[in-house]
Structure 1
């Protein structure tokens, strides 16, 4: 089980899940510039739990920049840069939207890369939701795989000149490749679980209970979240 401080040894599933939910709530509710603080905490959490791998993914920041760029041109134009009419209101709106999206995506990717499927299954079993935890765990586990499959397929097609002509057909082939690769990986996860006598419909060990560090971490999150919203 991945955990914090060294984070990987002390922060359990409850702590990771709490931070994911905390980020979703704060990224949605925190007004204006306060979302910068949320992003900063998300970056710190991701770096501590998974190293700088997730933070250094340039496609995440490219996505955030594209949100900012698009919204800068959708409101009433009152600024002109290099001959292009832009909107100050749209810029600030897009900036906060981009930071919110980056915060959520970063923490979701970190959660997917650090929490094992079996831990999610055991958590939901403790709530009487047998089978749901396994499905949710597999879904989160698939996020990095889908991203890697998309990157590999795109680069392979680009290097072979697949987008120089018939681009629509190339995009269809890319989509089919991503879906097929993701389904194959999901089937491999289920097969591996069955080979280890894992049955999502039956009990699979003791329910996951929060550690003292998890409880302290959750208390800190609640305090910090209330402070950010009230500040």
Structure 2
């Protein structure tokens, strides 16, 4: 075999390998993320399915999980997508914006993890969210915030790894919530690597859970 032919074969093989490698990583990246309102959010293939269950969604204590279009689960048992309301931009006391959605449900309704992650902080805020839980996603890029809980799930602790559908607590009205309207205050924050549990940029959970445009 001539030297020129050998060199041509080596170059062609290298080009094909590079193309296949690029295609693989492009596909892997797009399976793991989906763009919503300019921010990457967990995709069903990575956020909703727990390791070892074959991709099937978990069944929460209150019944089968209801998944939104991105694979996030509605974190209150028994609530359907059509029952959700977009309260993300609503005004709140002190001139602040809500930056979350309120999922209405009776006191004591089970609250479950919308996505897998690690319990980063259990915190009580008397004049704010009351009994709260912060769960950081496995990729560290998102924090899921559950507030106004009546109580924590038995044994829930900081550092605990939770799967989608695992119990978080019970719907309540602790903190500055109205006892006449118990609900889960549910927020999602896009996190920078160095940001702490109480930081991050709020992302509207409504379209991710309801599959509808914000405000619809």
* TM-score, with structure 2 as normaliser: 0.23
**By percentage of residues, which structure has more strand?**
2
Q: TM-score, normalised by structure 1?
A: 0.22
Higher relative contact order (CA 8 A, sep 6+): 1
Structure with greater helix percent: 1
